[in-house]
Structure 1
Amino acid sequence: MTSSPNDIDIGYDVPAAIGDKIADIQTPALIIDLDAFERNVARMKDHAEAMGVRLRPHAKTHKSADVALYQIANGGAVGICCQKVSEAEALVRGGVTDLLVANEVADPKKIDRLARLARSAHVSVCVDDPAVVATLSEAAVRHGVTLDVLVEIDCGARRCGVLPGPPAVEL
């Protein structure tokens, strides 16, 4: 009889449980000081309201749909930022319905996945290349969806983005 990967006993069901000692937690595991977390979410909500801006926290630290949903339900967040298409997919599977992929997506296969994701969620993406805009448009048309596209402007770090002014307007 052959075994499959599903037959392997890995020795634990979950990496951690509430009350476990730090030394007993299998990594990676998200560990939260709930009082500090709730306080920080409330502070960010208050700060964004006082500044008159919309809040869209980045999920790069927590990578958790549960945390993102809490930020939306209790922290005034209008949606969540993430870096990659795979992160956006995981967040949508977890129930997040408004995402901004803050890093440019250039690969046509990933752009296609992004467009498919827009069937289940409101999806925005940053761009700094006209060729990518065309590929995004083609994928959106192919899947019958709308993608919000934001122009990434170089703020001086020269890592990504177009120059402000006419180059940004042209894009």
Structure 2
Amino acid sequence: MNSALNWNDLEVGYDIPARIGMRESEVQTPCLVLDLDALERNIMKMGEFAKGHGMRHRVHGKMHKSVDVALLQEHLGGACGVCCQKVSEAEVFARGGIKDVLVSNQVRDPAKLARLARIPMLGARTIVCVDDPTNVAELSAAATEAGTQIECLVEIDCGAGRCGVTTTREVVDIASAIDKADGLKFAGIQAYQG
């Protein structure tokens, strides 16, 4: 926490959800309430499980939407970074000190593409999902304009029909396009079964 912050100047319900000593019924929601001992124990347990099985793991920021919790997951649990659904979430985590962010979605809006391309300037490895060759060109233009590099995962549809490519040929074509594009780096494939 920032010791220079004057908590008395913050309004409950607007700036903060509660003050120390408030009754539970007075706490404004949404409010993340954690048992720190249990949280740290669970983070370490997950990290040990992943390490014991030769895996790296990445936490999903939508579960807690907290930079502090994500940093604990990195430092105590060995998480390799954070996964986000939206560019705005990735920006918050990168500004908060997370050095590896994955936007596990396609980004198509021009303003959001420009913002995504600036995230590496915050010192964070930046990864995004792609399932369309046109999006490769859009990402390349944004990264080139920003003078940064965005890493790309080709997303594969594993049956849900939500997003992702369905053929090996599409995977190869998009991976090739990424590999040839300025400002982009092919980082692998991704599939989501959910």
The alignment's TM-score, normalised by the length of structure 1, stands at 0.88
C-alpha change, 1:10 and 1:97, in structure 2 (3 Å) is closer
Deviation at 1:21, TM superposition (A): 3.0
Moved more, 60-69 or 35-44: 35-44
Q: Report whether the alignment pairs 1:169 with 2:177.
A: no
Aligned-partner Cα distance in 2 for 1:127–1:147: 11
Contact 2:131–2:164, Cα closer than 8 Å, also in 1: yes
| SS at 1:125 equivalent | strand
Moved more, 158-167 or 78-87: 158-167
- Among 53, 56, 62, the alignment partner of 1:54 is 56
Residue number in structure 1 paired with 2:104: 102
Q: How many residues align?
A: 163
Contact 2:87–2:112, Cα closer than 8 Å, also in 1: yes
Aligned-partner Cα distance in 1 for 2:129–2:42: 27
Output the amino acid matched with 2:89. Answer: E
Output the amino acid matched with 1:127. Answer: V
Aligned-partner Cα distance in 2 for 1:19–1:66: 22
Residue number in structure 2 paired with 1:4: none
Alignment of 1:7-156 (within 5 A): 11-12=11-12, 14-18=16-20, 20-120=22-122, 121-156=124-159
Give percent identity, aligned residues only.
Answer: 53
Any stretches of 5+ residues in structure 1 without a counterpart?
1-8
Moved more, 34-43 or 119-128: 34-43
Aligned-partner Cα distance in 1 for 2:33–2:21: 11
Any stretches of 5+ residues in structure 2 without a counterpart?
1-8, 175-194
The alignment's TM-score, normalised by the length of structure 2, stands at 0.78
Deviation at 1:22, TM superposition (A): 2.1
Deviation at 1:141, TM superposition (A): 0.9
Aligned-partner Cα distance in 2 for 1:15–1:130: 44
